[in-house]
Amino acid sequence: MRKIISGFSKLSKNEKINWLAENYFQNQSETVKIITQYWNTDAALQQLHDDFIENTISNFYIPYGIAPNFIINGEPYVIPMVVEESSVVAAASLVAKFWSTRDGFKTKVIGTTKIGHVHFMYANDVTELEDYFIKNKAELLQSTASITKNMEKRGGGILDIQLVDKTDTLPNYFQLEVTFETKDSMGANFINSCLEAIAKRFEKEDIEIVMSILSNYVPECLVSAEVSCKIEELGGEDPHKFAEKFYQAVKIAEIEPYRAVTHNKGIMNGIDAVVLATGNDFRAVEAGAHAYASRSGQYRSLSHCEINDGIFRFLIEIPLALGTVGGLTALHPMAKLSLEILQKPSAKTLMQITAAAGLAQNFAALRALTTKGIQHGHMKMHLQNILNQFEVNDEEKQFISAYFEKRTVSHAAVVEKINALRK
């Protein structure tokens, strides 16, 4: 009988695990074994991870891989990636190498402004509200002084506050729209603290604050990345045919939302992997990227392709609110290591590296899709997962891997081969 419990967070870790095993599993000792086998033997390191969230009972491993040979603005990089999908790191590495001999990735930060709002309701005269805002604007800024002091020393802070009338979309709805520069930090806590201080100072009997929160839609915290070369330099049997098909694939993703979502998912395979490896917030990045993809009113591709005067050019523009200080970046030993692998980048540099990883992933997917098809490479990588699922021994693994070296991998074909071998 599954149960509701109160005061769960107060239980010790072992008590939590036992409660879970007793109430939700038949085989309790096996459940406890699975959960505890992922504990780190270093108690201090485990405690660090336990403290990241509430009710931690174990750790969940996702592979940490590295993709070497990225050339970004002339500088070589090894990019750390945290991802569970078989082919992602392999694809990034392959494409990085490919473009390393064609001048690499060119990237540029277009803007770093972040944004947040005090959302409030006001039903009285609008001119009075405007006067109240103008008269108090300096004081609103002043109300954040203790929070912004350190950020200002680093060259960041509040850029501006504007009063926005939204009553045409919702009766009595107004905003204080605040823009921020948060330098090397992602800035979520800083922004939210500033907004709450501003809201407190702004509130009065006819102004009802609904909420104060940053926006994860950051179209002005934007980065671009591109690769280009002469069509002939794309290589392969028929580089012109390849360029043309690739171009069409991107055009389809620009106009067809069904395809655009999958196209952009491929980009996020690369982006999220770097965002995770560096201890950044991938949910924020995901939300912002997809909102940006919809900015025209229709969901579209985040990347674009041009073919002009015999030059193939493939580019991406994506909002990325990332930090290289604060949050988990210094706290999680692997996130810290990732930033060291990346030569301790500024947030701006990390934005550029991440955009390049996203573009590389997208190039890999489109190259596969428009030539051999995606399953060829994908299933080759996935073969090891299928073999592990069937707990093959080393000898079986070697034999079956060799067998599928030049054959198409499918789940059914692998299972058939395992069964035949075991007969």
238 is catalytic: no
378 is catalytic: yes
Figure out which of the listed residues 102, 108, 265, 397 binds ligand MEV, where binding follows CB under 6 A. Answer: 265
| Using rule CB under 6 A, residue 375 touches ligand MEV | no
Helices (H) and strands (E) in the chain, counts: 15, 10
Catalytic residue of the set 49, 85, 336, 348: 85
| Using rule CB under 6 A, residue 188 touches ligand MEV | no
How many C-beta neighbours within 10 Å does residue 19 have?
15
Catalytic residue of the set 184, 196, 272, 281: 281
Tokens of residue 376, six digits: 């060829």
Nearest one of 84, 166, 182 to 385, comparing CA atoms: 84
Figure out which of the listed residues 266, 319, 323, 358 binds ligand MEV, where binding follows CB under 6 A. Answer: 266
3-state secondary structure of 222: strand
The end-to-end CA distance of the chain, in Å, is: 43
Q: Which residues contact 19 (CB under 8 A, 6 or more apart)?
A: 5, 8, 11
3-state secondary structure of 173: strand
- What distance in Å separates the CA atoms of residue 73 and residue 386, rounded to the nearest whole number? 39
Q: Which stretch binds ligand MEV (CB under 6 A): 62-70, 261-269, 272-280, 412-420?
A: 261-269
Q: Which stretch binds ligand MEV (CB under 6 A): 185-193, 219-227, 258-266, 412-420?
A: 258-266
Q: Write down the least CB distance from residue 341 to ligand MEV, Å.
A: 24
Q: Where are the beta strands (DSSP E) in 47-156?
A: 64-72, 75-82, 106-109, 114-121
Nearest one of 344, 350, 312, 338 to 223, comparing CA atoms: 350
DSSP secondary structure of 331-355: TSHHHHHHHHHTTS--HHHHHHHHH
Figure out which of the listed residues 374, 380, 390, 396 binds ligand MEV, where binding follows CB under 6 A. Answer: 374
366 Cα distance to chain centroid = 20
15 Cα distance to chain centroid = 34
- What distance in Å separates the CA atoms of residue 196 and residue 201, rounded to the nearest whole number? 9
Q: Write down the least CB distance from residue 216 to ligand MEV, Å.
A: 23
135 is catalytic: no
How many residues line the site for ligand MEV (CB under 6 A)? Answer: 9
- Closest to ligand MEV by CB, 126 vs 255, is 255
3-state secondary structure of 361: helix
Task: Find the residue with minimal CB distance to ligand MEV.
Answer: 266
| Using rule CB under 6 A, residue 252 touches ligand MEV | no
77-136: which residues touch ligand MEV (CB under 6 A)? 85
Figure out which of the listed residues 262, 294, 385, 408 binds ligand MEV, where binding follows CB under 6 A. Answer: 262
| Using rule CB under 6 A, residue 248 touches ligand MEV | no
| Using rule CB under 6 A, residue 367 touches ligand MEV | no
Q: Write down the least CB distance from residue 265 to ligand MEV, Å.
A: 5
| Using rule CB under 6 A, residue 254 touches ligand MEV | no
| Using rule CB under 6 A, residue 317 touches ligand MEV | no
340 is catalytic: no
How many C-beta neighbours within 10 Å does residue 307 have?
15
- Closest to ligand MEV by CB, 50 vs 272, is 272
Name residue 100's amino acid.
S
Catalytic residue of the set 49, 265, 332, 336: 265
Q: Write down the least CB distance from residue 327 to ligand MEV, Å.
A: 27
347 Cα distance to chain centroid = 14
Helix orientation angle between 239-255 and 257-277, rounded to the nearest 10 degrees: 100
Figure out which of the listed residues 263, 367, 382, 417 binds ligand MEV, where binding follows CB under 6 A. Answer: 263
| Using rule CB under 6 A, residue 16 touches ligand MEV | no
Tokens of residue 94, six digits: 């392959």
Instruction: Spell out the alpha helix ranges (H) of 236-327.
Output: 239-255, 257-277, 282-293
- Closest to ligand MEV by CB, 378 vs 417, is 378
Residues 267-296, mask of contacts with ligand MEV (x by CB under 6 A)? --x---------------------------
Q: What are phi and psi of 327, to 5 degrees?
A: 55, -140
- What distance in Å separates the CA atoms of residue 204 and residue 209, rounded to the nearest whole number? 9
| Using rule CB under 6 A, residue 365 touches ligand MEV | yes
- Closest to ligand MEV by CB, 78 vs 374, is 374
- Closest to ligand MEV by CB, 234 vs 369, is 369
Q: Which residues are catalytic?
A: 85, 265, 281, 378
- Chain contacts with ligand MEV (rule: CB under 6 A): 85, 262-263, 265-266, 269, 365, 369, 374
